[in-house]
Amino acid sequence: MSRDNKSGYTHFGFEEVPVSDKQKRVAGVFTSVAAKYDVMNDVMSMGIHRIWKRFAIDLAAVRPGEKVLDVAGGTGDLAREFSKAAGPKGLVVLSDINAAMLGEGRSRLADKGIVNVPVTQLNAEKVPFPDDTFDLITIGFGLRNVTDKDAALRSMTHCLKPGGRLLVLEFSKPLSAPLAKLYDQYSFKFLPLMGKLVANDADSYRYLAESIRMHPDQQTLKGMMEGAGLSRVQVYNLTGGIVAVHRGFKL
């Protein structure tokens, strides 16, 4: 019988684990890959992840003076662009639950001369900011690693100002069967091999491939965002649905 987080178990890739264990195990994955994370993104996506992120940045449409929270912001590539758009009168906060990833982000922002982006370690399920704080909250390639996705969506939504928007950039479900078959071959053979060769860590990249398969599909995530209190939720499929951007607005 399948068990979910309501009965004390959740998914870590294809494996069922106690809810209390998942956060620690995900932390182990990202601590392991932090130093090679950007290099592996380029290898895994053949550079296409930069196009996906550019689409999300353009869709976010950050305006001067806005307040932005980047959740699971990792190495800071989204926060960097948001900071440029928000300008000196705006505020962009880079956050991540993983200290190693956050350290990489802080260093990379500093290397680019960006010193006006506060960095904070936080859990997406319990965002520690007051309600109605941010104009925009983003979570890029991080929601699938959250133990309680519904709690995270609610928490982020509470922190949005009325009319503010939540943007989720995440791997999703290919829209055609032939593409899905090719994608499976790529994910379960190529990714662990590249993880071993480039990052000396095949297991972490096998988990990442499995976590993508366990993530809700486009319409399910849309419904979850609506259930969290967001309206006008739009879905933008990229690369045949391999990646999707969901954007919703707080009532």
Architecture of domain 9-174+208-250: 3-Layer(aba) Sandwich (3.40)
Q: Is the pLDDT of residue 14 over 90?
A: no
| Least confidently predicted of 8-12, 148-152, 154-158, 195-199 | 195-199
Q: Between these two residues, 43 and 152, which has the higher pLDDT value?
A: 152
Given this model, what pLDDT does residue 8 score? 86
Check if the beta carbon of residue 240 is closer than 8 Å to that of residue 232: no
Check if the beta carbon of residue 243 is closer than 8 Å to that of residue 170: yes
Chain-wide mean pLDDT for the chain?
Answer: 91
Q: Helices marked H in the chain — which ranges?
A: 19-33, 37-45, 49-60, 77-86, 99-111, 149-158, 177-185, 191-199, 202-214, 218-227
Boundaries of every domain in the chain? 9-174+208-250
Given this model, what pLDDT does residue 2 score? 35
Q: Give mean pLDDT, residues 169-189.
A: 94
Cα–Cα distances in Å, from 244 out to 13, 53, 195?
19, 11, 24
Q: Is the pLDDT of residue 12 over 90?
A: no
Q: Is the pLDDT of residue 29 over 80?
A: no
Q: Which amino acid is at 177?
A: A
Residue in this structure with the two tokens 């307040």, named with its chain if needed? 67
Q: Is the pLDDT of residue 4 over 60?
A: no
Q: Which amino acid is at 123?
A: N
| pLDDT, tens digit, 9 for 90 and up, residues 90-130 | 999 999 999 999 999 999 999 999 999 999 999 999 999 99
Given this model, what pLDDT does residue 6 score? 53
Q: What is the pLDDT confidence band of residue 206, given thresholds at 50, 70 and 90? A: confident
Q: What is the pLDDT confidence band of residue 42, given thresholds at 50, 70 and 90? A: confident
Residues within the annotated binding site for S-adenosyl-L-methionine?
A: 75, 96, 123-124
Q: Is the pLDDT of residue 1 over 50?
A: no
| pLDDT, tens digit, 9 for 90 and up, residues 235-251 | 999 999 999 999 999 99
Residues within the annotated binding site?
A: 75, 96, 123-124
Q: Is the pLDDT of residue 184 over 60?
A: yes
Given this model, what pLDDT does residue 174 score? 97
Q: Give mean pLDDT, residues 28-57.
A: 82
| Rounded Cα distance, 162 and 74, in Å | 27
